[in-house]
């Protein structure tokens, strides 16, 4: 894994590109100019023996032939969606073609609501229509939804073909493009159908985040806060001391630092426990509560990172009720999430019973016990356990659902 790097100085740069209100789609972003990487990209390595791969992070890497060299064979099928495609498909196609790769593409409908088996089939339809074989590399161009679906398609198509991740959201850059978890949702539960399938490479163009709406940028920050809470107190301190504000202001040095440090954390956890037999489950802080929120509200209503933020606030509350962290750590966690412009309260109408029912459909359930990632000890410590006082969970659910 890469060496830890120095945080950039406190950011004072003005916002690069201001957007409209969170989630607004009407102010469609203009197509950014292609840029050549000014400096060599930072590279974080995921150490998995023969299946190790690089994560290249830098401005302009999307256009850089060297990023793809050696990771894509003679043919590629780019998987994107109808928001990201118009922005970046032409550039990725051009980069691959100039590297001598024959390129096809398939464009999926945008959004979490389409992360399902029916949409997945569109990738197989395109692959078969183009007579793609096992020598084809799928290239996932988009956020976590496209990445998870293209990765799952790569795991299943002709029993497995290689794939490359080109993340274009902060969420995908700091989390979903790394580690090989792929899949789709089921109406009864988030990410319930999928496979572990590692990419050959991750090519993360920080400049591509310029077109990301503010609300999506904030959503990705929830996973950066997660690394701080579960294992990297200095990263949390940096976010709190101005890093988060600089990211929200689109300071590129701050963004690059957060992505690189998040990837260093994720690469270390994945290298230690690729298939989530142990420590990898800690990456699910807030996710058991959060997935319940996402499923209950209808996929896409709450963004994934927003739901994780609510879930993280609930996990911090429960950890505090159990006496595992002090109120100061809980308050810092909730305070930083708020500062990231993320929600920390449960949507109205959700009940403790609804949470319990949905939380029972979780991949961490063992012998009928819902295991949770909870904070423990000083900032940066956590456990994965089903051994907690159920009355404390009742109290947290009651408090967040307005019953206390």
Q: What does 280 interact with, of ligand NAD, ligand GLY, none (CB < 5 to 8 A by kind)?
A: ligand GLY
Q: What does 110 interact with, of ligand NAD, ligand GLY, none (CB < 5 to 8 A by kind)?
A: ligand NAD
Neighbours of 249 (CB within 10 A): 17
> Strand ranges (DSSP E) for 297-393?
372-375, 382-385
266 flagged as catalytic: yes
Our finding on whether 115 is near ligand NAD (CB under 6 A) is yes
Minimum CB distance to ligand GLY smaller for 212 or for 283:
283
Minimum CB distance to ligand NAD smaller for 75 or for 198:
198
280 flagged as catalytic: yes
DSSP string, 29-55: PPPPPP---SSPPEEEEE--GGG-EEE
Q: What residues have CB less than 8 Å from 47, skipping those under 6 apart?
A: 1, 267, 271
Terminal-to-terminal C-alpha distance of the chain: 46
Give the shortest CB-280-to-ligand GLY separation in angstroms: 5
Our finding on whether 146 is near ligand NAD (CB under 6 A) is yes
Number of residues that bind ligand GLY (CB under 6 A): 6
What are the structure tokens assigned to 115, written together? 């992360």
Neighbours of 86 (CB within 10 A): 14
240 flagged as catalytic: no
Our finding on whether 294 is near ligand GLY (CB under 6 A) is no
Q: Any idea how long the chain is?
A: 404
Give the three-state DSSP class for 77. strand
Helices (H) and strands (E) in the chain, counts: 15, 11
287 flagged as catalytic: yes
Number of residues that bind ligand NAD (CB under 6 A): 32
Q: How many CA atoms lie within 13 A of 247 on its CB side?
A: 35
What are the structure tokens assigned to 252, written together? 């590129």
Catalytic residue among 216, 261, 276, 294: 276
Among 101, 283, 285, 375, binds ligand GLY (CB under 6 A): 283
Q: Which stretch binds ligand GLY (CB under 6 A): 7-15, 34-42, 277-285, 326-334?
A: 277-285
Q: Beta strand pairing status for 189-196 and 136-142?
A: unpaired
Site residues (CB under 6 A) for ligand NAD?
29, 81, 83-84, 87, 110-112, 115, 142-146, 148, 168-169, 171-172, 175-176, 179, 181, 191, 208-209, 211-212, 216, 219, 304-305
Catalytic residues: 159, 181, 223, 266, 276, 280, 284, 287, 291, 304
């Amino acid at each position: 894994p890469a060496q830890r790097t120095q945080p950039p100085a406190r950011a004072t740069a003005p916002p690069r590109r201001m957007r409209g209100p969170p989630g607004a789609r009407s102010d469609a972003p203009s197509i950014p100019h292609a840029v050549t990487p000014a400096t060599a990209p930072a590279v974080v390595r995921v150490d998995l023996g023969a299946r190790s791969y690089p994560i290249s992070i830098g401005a302009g890497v999307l256009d850089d032939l060297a990023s793809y060299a050696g990771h894509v064979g003679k043919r590629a099928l780019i998987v994107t969606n109808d928001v990201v495609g118009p922005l970046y498909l032409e550039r990725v196609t051009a980069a691959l073609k100039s590297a001598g790769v024959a390129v096809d593409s398939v464009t999926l409908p945008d959004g979490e609501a389409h992360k399902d088996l029916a949409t997945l089939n569109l990738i197989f339809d395109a692959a078969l229509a183009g007579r793609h074989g096992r020598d084809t590399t799928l290239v996932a161009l988009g956020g976590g939804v496209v990445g998870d679906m293209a990765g799952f398609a790569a795991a299943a198509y002709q029993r497995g073909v290689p794939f490359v991740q080109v993340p274009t959201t902060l969420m995908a850059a700091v989390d979903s493009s790394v580690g090989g978890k792929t899949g789709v949702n089921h109406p009864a539960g988030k990410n319930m159908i999928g496979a572990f399938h590692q990419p050959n490479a991750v090519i993360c163009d920080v400049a591509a985040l310029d077109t990301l709406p503010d609300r999506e940028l904030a959503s990705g920050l929830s996973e950066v806060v997660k690394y701080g809470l579960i294992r990297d107190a200095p990263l949390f301190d940096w976010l709190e001391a101005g890093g988060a504000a600089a990211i929200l202001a689109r300071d590129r040095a701050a963004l690059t630092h957060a992505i690189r440090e998040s990837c260093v954390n994720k690469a270390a956890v994945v290298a230690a426990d690729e298939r989530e037999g142990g420590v990898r489950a800690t990456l699910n802080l807030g996710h058991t509560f959060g997935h319940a929120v996402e499923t209950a509200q209808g996929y896409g209503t709450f963004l994934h990172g927003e739901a994780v933020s609510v879930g993280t606030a609930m996990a911090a509350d429960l950890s505090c009720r159990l006496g595992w962290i002090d109120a100061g750590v809980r308050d810092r966690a909730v305070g930083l999430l708020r500062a990231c412009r993320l929600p920390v309260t449960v949507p109205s109408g959700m009940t403790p019973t609804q949470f319990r029912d949905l939380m029972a459909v979780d991949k961490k359930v063992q012998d009928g016990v819902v295991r949770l990632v909870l904070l423990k000890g000083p900032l940066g410590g956590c456990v994965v356990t089903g051994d907690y006082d159920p009355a404390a969970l009742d109290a947290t659910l009651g408090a967040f659902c307005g019953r206390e």
